[in-house]
Structure 1
């Protein structure tokens, strides 16, 4: 991941509704959520959600796929992985003992 990509992703997440939208989609992986359900879950109007999803999509954090009349949105976890690796690259100057607690906290999710 390049610096400009990381900046775009972090910028897209730097807004409360978009951050919560992304977190909801992560919780619904791998199935994703239809846009209407996502709007209801977040308590936002569909047109507002559409604008937020466009920003998240442009940053590469979510992707929508048409399914009949619905669009199913999913978090792009590979992009989050790339962002996390970009942020943690050269963590602690290569001193494994300093990075171990952080990595241990990330590991239990899976």
Structure 2
């Protein structure tokens, strides 16, 4: 993946609703979802959703196909995987950087009484 493609994909995902749409499409798998199903699941207006789908398509993160009267949107997994690969290709200088075990959230320190 080229840097310009990565920037376009990240820009498309850098908005709450679009990120939600993309994650929902990823969960749906290669068969995708109808625009109506996405709108219902995320409680988004159809005209707003069309704009978000267009941004995801222009960034190469989603495809659309017509089935009868329905528009079916699906995530482009090859682009998603290329983006993840681009972001991690130089991770940890080539050494494995997978965590040894499940990480726990940092605990807040309580201040000792004075």
TM-score, normalization by structure 1: 0.87
Match of residue 4 from structure 2: 4
Can you give the 5+ residue segments of structure 1 that lack an aligned partner in the other structure? 106-110
The 5 A counterparts of 1:28-67 are: 28-67=28-67
**Larger of the two Rg values belongs to structure:** 2
Matching residue of 1:23: 23
Matched, 1:101 2:99: yes
The two structures, once aligned, show a CA RMSD in angstroms of 1.7
Note the C-alpha offset of 1:100.
Answer: 2.9
Runs ≥4 residues deviating over 3 A: none
Total equivalences in the alignment: 102
Equivalent-residue separation in structure 1 for 2:34 and 2:98 (angstroms): 38
Q: Could you list the runs of 5+ residues in structure 2 that have no partner in the other structure? A: 103-114
Cα deviation for residue 31 of structure 1 reads 1.8
1:80 is aligned to 2:80: yes
Per the TM alignment, residue 91 of structure 1 is displaced from its structure 2 partner at its CA by 1.1
- Matched residue of 2:30: which SS? coil
CA offset digits 1:15-43 (Å, max 9, x no partner): 00000000111111122100111111110
